[in-house]
Every structure is written in C-alpha cells, then in structure tokens.
Amino acid sequence: MRPGRFSWILVVVASALGAPALANDSVAESAAGGLVLTQTDDIDMLSEDLFVSAERVSVRYVFRNQRPADVRVTVAFPMPDRNFAELRESDSAFPVDFSTRVDGRPVEMQVERRALLGDIDHSALLASLGIPIAAENPFIAVAEALDALAPDQQQRLAGLGLVEAVEYDSGQGMRRHFEPLWTTRETWHWEQVFPAGRDLVVEHLYTPGVGGSVGSILAYPELRSDAATRQMIDDYCVEPSFIAAVDRLAARGTEERPVLIGDQRIRYILTTGGNWRSPIGDFRLVVDKGRPENLISFCGSGLTRLSPTQFEMRRRNWRPDRDLAVLILTPGE
C-alpha cells in the first residue's frame, strides 16, 4: 500500500469475478455515475447506498429538503459523451437500460440530445436536415441519413467538419458515403418536487458500460513496463500482491493449454456527490466481483468482506474527490 496517493485508497486482492470478456481486442469502458440536481443549496443527501458489479449498478439515495417550503428541482442523469470520430477507431461500451423510482414509484424521464463539435452546438442544423443526432448504431442509421442528403447539404456538413466522406469497395466498384464526426451529449432528466422537511428516496438502476479484453495486459509480464499497463496499475491501485496472484493463475496453465486471463473494467463517477450543500451523511459502497475465483482491484480504504464476491466500504460525512474505477480479472481456459 502506498499511503497518500489518493484521499481514499483501497486494494482488494481476492479470487475474483466472472462474466465473459467483451471482445478479442480491448473494449473501452465509459463512466456514468449517479443523479445530478441542478439546484443543491437547499437539499442534503442524507445517504447514498451504491452497488457496483459488471452486470448492474444500483444506487439508493435519501434526500432532504431543508427549506420550510417545497422545492421543485430538475434531476438529471448525464450519459457519457459519444465521440463518433473516436468510435470509428475503437470499440466502447455505454450504459443502457436505466430506470428510476421515487418513493417506490417509477419515474418517466425526458431525454435531451445535443450534437457538439468542440464548443459549437450543431443540433438544430442536423435536426433541420432530418439527421438523427444519435442512434443505436450511428455508422448505419446516421450514415444512411447522411448519404441520403443532397450533395450540397453533404458538402455543407463536411465544410463544418461534422462529417467525412469515406470511399469503400462495394464489390461493384468504389463508392462513397459519409460518416459522422460530432460528439453526442445525452442527458436524461425529470422535474421533481422535494417536499419541505421530509425525506425523499430516489433509486436508480442501470447496466454499466463495461470495458474488457479477452487477454488482460496485466497477464503478460513483458507488457508491464509499457505506459498503458502503468496507467492501468495506477488507475486501479494494482499492488504487487495482485500481480503475484495473476502470475500464480497463469502458472496453472501449460504451453498446450494456457490459462486465459481476461479483464472487465467498470467506472463510476462519484465526485458529483461532492457538490451537495453538505457532505454525504452516510455513504455505503458494495462492489461485487461476480465469481469467487476472479481477481479484483480498486482504490479505497476500510474495506469489509461481506461474502466470497462482495466487498463493502462505508463513510460518514464524506465528500468524494476521486471517481471509482474497478478492475476484475476473469481467469478461464
């Protein structure tokens, strides 16, 4: 353990998780977090109970409006940005299937989507041309809409840097189509009344955007001095004991049947919890690694083991100043 690296440090090295890796080459994780209130001067977060695994993220908040009158507040769930220019070069996973309940009742959320290139918002222009800002697969649905535009409209978007023409062999000669280059910023939100002097329970659930690789770079000693590996070691507070556990797993294999050690990477934005009028009164984090035989490492302190797969951290009157990053290694054959 290296004290002082972060304000909260914890390393858990244990036989850890499961769930298949996402692809042969690496898939980048995307960080979402909890809910954000547009006005926080009058509202305290009495407690936050957070559960994180590769399969789901759930969080239960208890809020209290300290004013003598009801307060109407916009509550938002910002999604990670989708930079289409970057997505052309690499795979990324994004959160999906999120839902919210207030005092046990489901909330119907609205969505705002914006198309940004640098600091310029081009949403209105794209909407006027009938171009979807986002889609399940932008390089099909969005590209098809771009290809259907008149040539002068395509050139206008290309001149703004919003699209790029790409040539490809269709099997019947070379053809050209257009791909998006903007960044989609998506926020889900709703209006919520926080009653005067009464607790309000808000529960949020979603499937995280889990990054992963079939073969973790930590499993290859010859790669451990590389910059990418050193960054991973720093991000997830990987200690020598964790590396030693990885090497013991690898030693179980043979040249004919090596042990394949994949990884899963989960990020959660905690620092929005530091924006409240007062610190989070009672914070509880439970991280579940999936299967007992997996390995897990993340930053924190004061950890309690709840089960062969679950670990708990608690804080009182806490303002987080570092986001959560969880690394799970998944040994297989």
Q: What domains, with CATH codes, occur in the chain?
A: 15-122+182-331 (2.60.40.3680)
pLDDT tens-digit map of 217-239? 999 899 899 998 999 999 999 99
Residue 124, both tokens: 């209105």
Distance CA 28, CA 325 (A): 13
Question: Is residue 81 a contact partner of residue 184, using CB atoms and an 8 Å limit?
Answer: yes
pLDDT at residue 39, rounded to an integer: 63
Classify strands 294-298 and 15-16 as parallel, antiparallel or unpaired.
Answer: antiparallel
What is the C-alpha to C-alpha distance for residues 57 and 98, in angstroms, rounded to an integer? 9
What pLDDT, on the 0 to 100 scale, is given for residue 17? 29
- Residue ranges in the chain modelled with pLDDT below 50: 1-24
State if pTM tops 0.85.
Answer: no
How far CA 175 is from CA of 129, 147, 165, 167, in Å, comes to: 23, 11, 10, 6
**Rounded Cα–Cα distance for residues 268 and 249 (Å):** 28
